[in-house]
Structure 1
Amino acid sequence: MFYLITLMLYINFIDDWSDFGFRIRKLFQNDIPFIHTIGNFNRGRMVKWILSNETVNKFAQDIDKAILPKETFVNLIVYMQNFSITMKDSDICISRITYNSEVLDVNKFRPCRRDPHCEHCIRSDPSVAYSLSHRLLNLQLRLGLKRCYVKSVEEDEALFDKLCAQMYRETVYIARRGFFARDLFLEHIALCATAGYEEFYRRHWFQKATNWLTKNGCMSEFRNFNINRTKELIKYAGNDRKMKERFVRIKCELLNIECDEHATDVLLIVLAHAIRHAARFMNKV
């Protein structure tokens, strides 16, 4: 899980935050409470939200029916800034977790330090794709690592169920549409399986993910996904020649990547979940 967090935060290093590395090290100086982010296996906790008409975005019904065009979903991924939490918001809010006091008793929850901006990011709709997983990750680190709650333990856990339910719906959608967004597919499984939601433990999904590994032990994003994503970025650049050239260069770099570090690390987490689940229930197979 440590690799997942650090790779999610890499984007902020380009901003030269003098204390950023310090805060990340401080976040993990005592990782014993982090064990509490690993939930017991459970089934059915998400049913209320999976069957509910209350959704976190206006695309949920088309996602459930698997009729949302893949191109539209890719656009939603590209334009994450249109949703309640951006990558930068997420990374800032993760680093701010270090401002909370150290855990004295892992069996007791206390209020998180007040942070209106991050509270809004974590609790506000609409959300889709990475904005969903980053909201969940921030909530997970507060509940699990710092043993603190944003609203209350009950409300935060209910939000956890709601977010994972929507992530499950997206994961099923991606699988039904040919696993066209591998990294997101794996990230949703990695985070929600950590919390023990058994709906994310599907043998077929684990087998499919294993097939993405190369002989070198790496994986890369689906090629067509990178093509469509950069096409959208180039379109976004409009008449800005320098920006367009930059996105074309990014496209070439993405298409030549054989080992996507983030996707590979998340895949390893997913496969660790598969082993954990198999070990737990092997005697029942």
Structure 2
Amino acid sequence: MWAYFVCLTLLCSPTAHGSYGNDLIGLQDWQSKILDSIESTITHYLNENDEVINANLMLGVSIMKGQLMSCVNKPARSRKSFELMKRWYAINKVTNKLYEKFYRTNITEPKITKKILDPELWTSSKEIIHSTHHLPINEADMDSSVVEDLFFQNVSDTCILELLTSCRPSAKCIRSELEDNFLGYALTHQVLYIHILKKMNCIKSSVHIILDGFTQDKCNTMFNEAMYIVGDSNVFNDYKDLFIEQIAVCGMENMVDFIRPEWLLVLMSLQNQQGCFQSGDDNQSCDLHLAGVSLAALGVYWKFVCFKNNKIINKG
């Protein structure tokens, strides 16, 4: 699951350092398709009953919107770029309607809820970061992570709630959220915690560079996990949700190695014609959590293509 909510098969070689521009050439024509996919999902849930919309979905929506806000195309110089900007604003409009729909029936802890669903909380800088890859992940590692996830989820939820309510991180939470040797969802939760810790300025800015190092180390491990998951169809069937969440979380932190055209194709293949994302082979099955992480990942991909189109300098 995503960290928090109150009472909350394709194998490719590692990207070489400095190949950010080359990798995204294949994504240049995907900007409109990514917006199509996002709009289809948002529209699908706008047409669902109010009770269907939950916090897991809306957290993904918020990260997606924050990522779209992180890069806006330069003033239109062509009909194509003008049309893209029109689409951007149209999606922003329908996304706001989905927020309204959610808040009509979800009024528990409104101040806390609105804090974590504020898209501004989920915006990124423009500094592109490359991973450094470590030892590969194996099946035994993945199996052990399932046991750790259940324990760590409760710890992480409590620690994120602590930030949202008081912005005063306890020593216990700092220790657990920066601890090494975790895998799976525990890692994505840790990165989300560090992101909130920094964005809300709950810790001195002089410490941010140290926290950036922890984030990069954790995303390095997640990249190795993602490579293992997507490289085996049986493993992917069990861990597709985690794989997409890893793209969303580390892509939000501008880890460019997670931005691969073939991984985008894997992600979009899970969306059916109705616009929802399927956890199984049943064309009628719609998974809210999978939809949430997928929207977040789509927002991440759009941001990187936008960076490329705007010729933002790679500082990585």
Instruction: Please give the range of the TM-score, normalised by the shorter of the 2 chains.
Output: 0.5 to 0.7
Q: 1:275 to 1:151 in 2, by over 3 A?
A: closer
Give the aligned residue type for 2:179: S
| Equivalent residue letter for 1:158 | G
Q: Secondary structure of 1:218's partner?
A: coil
Q: Residue 4 of structure 2 corresponds to which residue in structure 1?
A: 9
Which one of 86, 98, 101 corresponds to residue 152 of structure 2? 86
Q: Which residue of 1 aligns with 2:276?
A: 218
Question: What letter is aligned with 1:183?
Answer: D
- Percentage of pairs with the same residue: 20
Which residue of structure 1 aligns with residue 293 of structure 2? Answer: 266
- Alpha-carbon distance in structure 2 between the residues aligned to 1:122 and 1:145: 16
- Calculate the aligned-residue CA RMSD, in Å: 3.2
Give yes or no for contact 2:247–2:297 (8 Å, CA) kept in 1.
yes
Structure 2: 5+ residue stretches without partners = 9-106, 312-316
2: CA distance between counterparts of 1:74 and 1:136? Answer: 18
Write the distance in 2 (CA, Å) between the matches of 1:266 and 1:209: 10
- Alignment: residue pair count: 210
Q: 2:247 aligns with which of 162, 180, 189?
A: 189
Contact 1:41 1:198 in 2 (8 A): no
The aligned residue for residue 206 of structure 1 is 264
User: Against the structure 1 CA distance between its residues 193 and 78, is the aligned structure 2 distance closer, same or farther, given a 3 Å change threshold?
Assistant: same
Q: Give TM-score, length-normalised by structure 1.
A: 0.63
Q: 1:132 to 1:283 in 2, by over 3 A?
A: closer
- Label 1:41 to 1:20 Cα distance change in 2 as closer, same or farther (>3 A): same
Q: Deviations over 1:79-103 (max 9, x none)?
A: 1258xx61111111111002445xx
Tell me, yes or no, if the aligned pair for 2:272 and 2:283 is still in contact at 8 Å.
Answer: no
Asked if 1:76 corresponds to 2:162, the answer is no
Of 104, 113, 118, which residue of structure 2 is paired with 1:25?
Answer: 113
**What CA distance in whole angstroms lies between the structure 2 residues aligned with 1:160 and 1:194?**
11
Gaps of 5+ in 1: 14-18, 52-60, 102-112, 224-254
- Larger relative contact order (C-alpha < 8 A, sep ≥ 6)? 2
Q: CA deviation at 1:114?
A: 4.4
Measure, in 2, the Cα distance between the counterparts of 1:114 and 1:272.
Answer: 29
Residues 75 and 155 (structure 1 numbering): CA distance in 2 closer, same or farther, change over 3 Å?
same
Query: Does the 8 Å contact 2:247/2:258 carry over to 1?
Result: yes
CA offset at residue 219 of structure 1?
A: 1.7
Alpha-carbon shift at residue 172 of structure 1 (Å): 1.1
Matches within 5 A, 1:1-285: 8-10=3-5, 12=7, 21-22=109-110, 24-25=112-113, 27-28=115-116, 32=120, 34=121, 37-44=123-130, 46-47=131-132, 50-51=133-134, 61-63=135-137, 68-69=138-139, 72=140, 75-80=143-148, 86-100=152-166, 113-146=168-201, 148-149=203-204, 152-178=207-233, 179-180=236-237, 181-221=239-279, 258-282=285-309
